[in-house]
């Protein structure tokens, strides 16, 4: 445990008090109302004590009370180790979103397929109705032809037989 504390530097505030890097980072984060998450400590440590001034400038540009999402974007951009877990969560989120979109498309496709099946069935019913109508029309034409023949035959009969049949 002592080895961990050897790397933490101390700064003199007064003659009697010293402030560690961790305390400086904590005070700075508290002033900005940043959550005390381990990844935020690393981000602010790099901003305050690291060599990359761009990181500090990006945090500064966020203004007072920066959002956690924006801080995480900066940590990911600068590839901080503590932010690696966020990459996995973001990948999982992206994969879940993609699966939801695929599921939606499949559901839409299934609804279209079911509608097509209903329309095809309706068309099949219409086909049998057309067949029935065609058969009825054929029968009607046969009856009409038969009736026409009977009328012609009746027209050729002598007048006395026509009166007897009436």
- Of the listed ranges 40-44, 65-69, 83-87, 115-119, the least confidently predicted one is 83-87
Number of helices followed by number of strands (H, E) in the chain: 7, 2
Q: Which pLDDT score is estimated for 112? A: 83
Is 43 within 8 Å of 75 (Cβ atoms)?
A: yes
Higher pLDDT, 36 or 125: 36
User: What is the pTM assigned to this prediction?
Assistant: 0.42
Q: What pLDDT, in 10s, does the model give residues 4-24?
A: 333 444 444 455 457 788 888
CA distances from 71 to 18, 37, 50, 60 (A): 29, 11, 16, 11
Please write the tens of the pLDDT for every residue from 131-160. 777 888 788 788 888 888 877 777 665 555
Highest-confidence range of 48-62, 81-95, 118-132, 150-164, by mean pLDDT?
48-62
Query: Nearest to residue 68, comparing CAs of 32, 95, 96?
Result: 32
Nearest alpha-carbon partner for 59 in 85, 36, 46:
46
Q: What is the distance between the alpha carbons of residues 13 and 119, in angstroms, rounded to a whole number?
A: 83
pLDDT at 121 over 50: yes
């Amino acid at each position: 445990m002592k080895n961990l504390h050897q790397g933490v530097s101390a700064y003199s505030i007064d003659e009697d008090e010293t402030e560690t890097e961790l305390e400086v980072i904590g005070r700075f984060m508290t002033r900005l109302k940043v959550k005390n998450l381990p990844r935020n400590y690393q981000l602010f440590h790099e901003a305050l004590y690291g060599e990359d001034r761009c990181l500090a400038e990006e945090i500064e540009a966020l203004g007072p009370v920066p959002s956690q999402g924006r801080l995480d974007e900066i940590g990911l951009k600068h590839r901080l180790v503590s932010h690696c877990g966020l990459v996995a969560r973001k990948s999982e989120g992206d994969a879940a979103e993609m699966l939801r979109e695929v599921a939606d498309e499949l559901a839409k496709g299934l609804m279209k397929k079911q509608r097509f099946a209903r329309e095809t069935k309706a068309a099949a019913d219409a086909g049998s109705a057309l067949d029935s109508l065609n058969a009825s029309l054929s029968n009607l034409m046969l009856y009409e032809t038969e009736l026409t023949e009977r009328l012609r035959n009746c027209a050729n009969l002598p007048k006395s037989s026509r009166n007897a049949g009436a």
